[in-house]
Amino acid sequence: MLVVDDSAFMRRLITELVHTSDEFRVVGTARDGLDAVRKVHALRPDVVTLDIEMPELDGLHALGRIMRESPCPVVMLAAAAGDAGDQTIRALELGAVDFVRKPSGPVSPDLSVVRDRLLDALRASAQANLASVSREAQPAAAAGIHAPHAAGSRHGPATRAVAIAASTGGPRALATVIPRLPAGFGAAVLVAQHMPSGFTRSLAERLDALGALLVSEADHGEPVLAGHVYVAPGGTHMRVAQGDGCTTIGLDRARGAGPSPSADILFRSVASCFGVRAVGVVLTGMGRDAAAGLRCLHDAGGVGFAQDEESTVIHGMPRAAVAAGGVDRVVSLDDMASAISDALEPRHG
């Protein structure tokens, strides 16, 4: 792997964290974006860790050049402050496989957490479908699908729901699917994207800017409305529950080592509240989260979709969902929005 950061201290620290495992070997370091592009061409690393804020050529522009000139899996190193969330989401759209929040220092109390998260991201990168990662993203107005928020996209209490699960590669996949759902879409959309706190709000704001539907980071206790997309906040588990004439959002702080936000928790609650009026979608990601939840939703009469292997960055979650028996149809990423709309169409009225 190639380590890229303008801080000599951070380059050394990341190298030391990687060397605690015998799975990866650092073959070089780079001090800025231009140096990174040169060394990617010269060293041909299997994976690159790339800082976002650098002189000469910043991480976003370096990432763009790497993906155009010599595509390889890239893990972004994100600061915990400033506008790092917005920049990180943009990097994931541009083709970065994953991101890791930087440690705050050599004696940081979260150093072991950062190390584990970094190694997980590197493992995922080693399995990434580079053809999917390096293909041109189609999330924004260039795809001809952007429209301003329309009054028709705001409805009353939801009677139908779409639950979407995603992990590695998910932000880019969501930026393809969510904007293609039409104004006036008659269901609520609930998203469990594996992501730490501090970044899901930026993800929601980015998705909100791309399409006709209103997208926001979910709040505890708010009503679930048709035509609204709710993104589970990082570090929490989101569920839905029946209230007095209205379904509401519930948020619980995530504890333990399981995936967060949990798709299984979300899908089970959607199955309980919406049953045959629900659609479950499992997008790209590593692991088995959503497999049991989608089977529960399917058994309750809902429809289950899984992203196809060719378009996923990591096919682990869709593969596990198929194996668990909750998938009615395997769908390409480009066709997912229309499949969701078609599945809900017979339920109108």
- 3-state DSSP call for residue 144? coil
- 3-state DSSP call for residue 283? coil
Q: Quick one: fold of 149-347? A: Rossmann fold (3.40.50)
CATH annotation of 2-134: 3.40.50.2300
Written as tens digits, the pLDDT of the chain (349 aa) is 999 999 999 999 999 999 999 899 999 999 999 999 999 999 999 999 999 999 889 999 999 999 999 999 999 998 865 567 899 999 999 999 999 988 876 656 578 888 999 999 999 998 899 888 866 554 444 344 445 555 444 579 999 999 999 999 999 999 999 999 998 899 999 999 999 888 999 999 999 999 999 999 999 999 999 999 999 999 999 999 997 778 999 999 988 778 999 999 999 999 999 999 999 999 999 999 999 999 999 999 999 999 999 999 999 999 999 999 999 999 999 999 999 999 997 544 4
pLDDT of residue 35: 97
pLDDT of residue 243: 78
What CA–CA distances, in Å, run from 220 to 200, 233, 237? 15, 10, 11
98-143 confidence digits (pLDDT tens): 999 888 766 565 788 889 999 999 999 988 998 888 665 544 443 4
pLDDT of residue 145: 46
What are the extents of the domains in the chain?
Answer: 2-134, 149-347
> In whole angstroms, what separates CA 42 from the centre of its chain?
31
Per DSSP, helices labelled H in 160-290 are 170-177, 200-210, 263-274
Residues recognised as catalytic = 167, 194, 289
Q: Are strands 303-307 and 278-282 parallel, antiparallel or unpaired?
A: parallel
161-172 confidence digits (pLDDT tens): 999 999 999 999
CB burial readout 162-179, b (16+ within 10 A) else e: bbbbbbbbbbbbbbbbbb
Within this chain, domains 2-134 and 149-347 share the same CATH topology = yes
